[in-house]
Chains A and B, each alone.
Chain A
Amino acid sequence: MKIGFPRALFYYDYFPFWAGFFHSLDIKVVTSPPTHRQIMEQGLKKVSDDTCLPLKILAGHIQALDKVDAIFLPRMVSVEADTYNCPKFLGIPESLFTAVPAGIPVLTVTLNWRKGRRQILKDLQVFGLQLGKGKADIQKAFTLGQEWQKQYQDSSGAGWDFEETIREIEKVTKGLTKPQMSTLTPSIPKVQDTTDRLRIALVGHSYLTHEAYGSQNLLGRLRKKAEVDLVQHVKQEEVDTNLLGLRKKLFWNHAKQIFGAGNKFVRDPKIDGVIYLSCFGCGTDSMVQELLARYAREQHKPYMMITLDEHSGEAGLVTRLEAFIDMVERRKVHEGYVSAYGECLDRDSNAL
């Protein structure tokens, strides 16, 4: 059996779990190719126009999966106790039925950590019946899935590049190699504290920051000009510490991670600037972005928000990015300048 797994939305955070799960059950997983123009266009046509960009991209990826026996669209209600995923995750798969090509069945299962591990196992076992797998198989698959997920999360904490890690996992799902991520050395070393280059933190949902096509390769462009820190690079303990100051707990899982990491970046003197990547129609970002912007202002940290939508012209993004980098650079030079005379003699020569 071959299951199609779209390379969008939940793929970016939870693929390792599902890859491990299906690997253990001896089910082949096929992922759609990285987003390209056609995928985007197909996605835009097939879903409600007032949903968000990542969901539209997901709809495109569903259609890009061919030669599969079924498409897997889990309903990821919650991945951690006391939190929820964004409501749009909860509407999957029903909200995307219009995008599924005729004749291909959809496989789905509800994953809700709010109800605890026992309930999840139960739900997975019911799901297993559809796949023709017994209780013991599911139990084993669940354990392996969790193992892979943990390895994946640990590796990003250690500075692993997302693309590298996911490539390793995909190789395994295709039956090419055995999982041995822990023995490999990270190819992109963790950001050095002594670097001369600018250090910019890019915060936002993983399915936007790592979505090269949708974000017009923002991450790649940024890496050309600066060292980039991401939400995934921040250790869980640090995220948790930076959430303590809030008067009320955030109950969206992604929002918690983004805010905790973002707050750390805002307060970290080694970070020269913070960019928040969001998209139109994102409900959780509308709260978290505003909150983080206020913290950034208090700390006088250069901060910029970029809102993505379906546009393909890159001029707007490039202008904002260049202007932000310029601002951070010139500000750094200016702040580092201490005149022996107590004030600038020639402030005009260093204008801006």
Chain B
Amino acid sequence: MLGEDKYFLGVDVGSVSTNIVLLRPDNTLKEALYLRTQGRPMQTIQEGIKLLRSKIGNSAEIMGVGTTGSARQLAATLLGADVVKNEITAHAVAASRVNPEVQTILEIGGQDSKIIILRDGVAADFAMNTVCAAGTGSFLDQQAARLGIPIEEFGPLALQAKHPVQIAGRCSVFAESDMIHKQQLGHSLSDILAGLCQAMVRNYLNNVGKNKDIRGPIFFQGGVAANPGIRKAFEVELGQPVIVPEHYDVMGALGAAYLAQEKVGMQVGMRSKFRGLHLGETQFEAKSFECSGCANHCEVVEIQQDGISLARWGDRCGKWSIASSTSVDNDSVEHKVKQLGA
């Protein structure tokens, strides 16, 4: 059938996971991938594309690409993105598309956590955690590893708790030493895990959720939403049901796909900048060097494909940044290229 294999691609490259979704033009999800970034975003993106290609075949057409997450610029360079958006906008768009009534989004990812307040489907306020990563997925990962339990069992175990212990949640270093004390006293594992969930939620609401008017319906998304222990702790603390949407772990990527659809769909005849599904097979390389042009000694990163420079960034003055056509600041690209040529 015509239009059968046309898709919008959404990619969210975060610190812990790289999520890729394929959205059909009728807004249903064709494919959702949740991959671990493991500190190698470029390889992970390529693997993801390979995986997609094996699933949908070569005849599929990508109509638009959106990238988000902390490595959105890198992903945009590699893929040739039509939209590059920050995580907050992407998450908000995804949630309000899934349920237009949503008023609050709690999002906890690998290295950051955020709260977004929506009113009438429009973001009215948001907050992100400060430099401290306490109360994010990485901390839970770390603690689960220390206790020798797979992260998947963390939540179900916490739900079995009868008397959750009180754990200091202000700082992850304190939380850890407090947990060890509680273990040595002989508290059960599930009580300690439940206590940790409560401490994390308290910390989140005190820091990120400070002074925010949290109203239902509440969406809980991001990787940590997989943990039913945290979800329950949120429900107890907020006194309201907390909804975990079906695709909670790829909401950022979903939002990016919607944004790509919005952008490409709005302009008639606009073609996607997508560089093709064969990307999985080409050779990407990242090089970095220290510029000695001034006292700042910026660390400049250069992305190369088969030896040809795609993009550079990391410099404060902009003399090295050949922004790719998908760059956010593409108004100044020409100017920079001229400067370099001179």
Contact = CB atoms under 8 A, between A and B. Distances in A.
Does B bind A? yes
Interface of A: 33, 36-39, 213, 217, 224, 293-294, 297, 300, 302-304, 307, 309, 311, 315-316, 318-320, 322-324, 326-327, 330-331, 334, 347-352
B139 interface: no
Most buried by A among B85, B96, B295: B295
Interface in B208-264: 211, 258, 262
Contacts, number: 90
B316 A352 contact: no
Contacts of A303: 125
A351 B100 contact: yes
Interface of B: 70, 85-89, 92-93, 96-97, 100, 118, 120-126, 128, 130-131, 211, 258, 262, 294-298, 316, 328-329
3 nearest A-B pairs in the assembled complex, by CB-CB distance: A323-B88, A36-B295, A322-B86
Nearest to A34: B295
Nearest to A297: B211
A347 B85 CA distance: 21
A256 to B, nearest CB: 23
Contacts of A307: 130
A352 B118 contact: yes
A37 B297 contact: yes
B86 A348 contact: no
A224 B123 CA distance: 22
A331 B124 contact: yes
Contact of A352 (B123, B125, B298): B123
A326 B88 contact: yes
20 contacts: A37-B297, A38-B297, A213-B316, A293-B211, A300-B124, A307-B130, A316-B128, A319-B70, A319-B88, A323-B89, A324-B126, A326-B85, A330-B123, A331-B124, A334-B120, A347-B121, A348-B121, A351-B92, A351-B100, A351-B258
A203 to B, nearest CB: 17
Contacts of B295: 33, 36-39
Contacts of B316: 213, 217
Nearest to B15: A315
Contact of A331 (B122, B130, B297, B329): B122
Given A300-B124, A322-B328, A330-B122, 18 more contacts: A37-B297, A316-B131, A319-B70, A319-B87, A320-B128, A322-B86, A322-B89, A323-B86, A323-B89, A323-B126, A326-B88, A334-B120, A348-B96, A350-B121, A351-B96, A351-B100, A351-B258, A352-B121
A156 to B, nearest CB: 26
Contact of B86 (A33, A294, A326): A326
The A interface, classified by DSSP as helix, strand, loop or mixed, is: helix
Contact of B97 (A36, A39, A315, A351): A351
A324 B123 CA distance: 10
Contact of B93 (A315, A331, A351): A351
A348 B193 CA distance: 40
B93 A352 contact: yes
A39 B316 CA distance: 15
Contacts of B297: 37-38
B126 A327 contact: yes
A302 B128 contact: no
Contacts of B100: 347-348, 351
Contacts of A315: 70
Contact of A334 (B89, B93, B122, B126): B122
B131 A311 contact: yes
A351 B121 contact: yes
Contacts of B128: 316, 319-320
Contacts of B122: 330-331, 334, 352
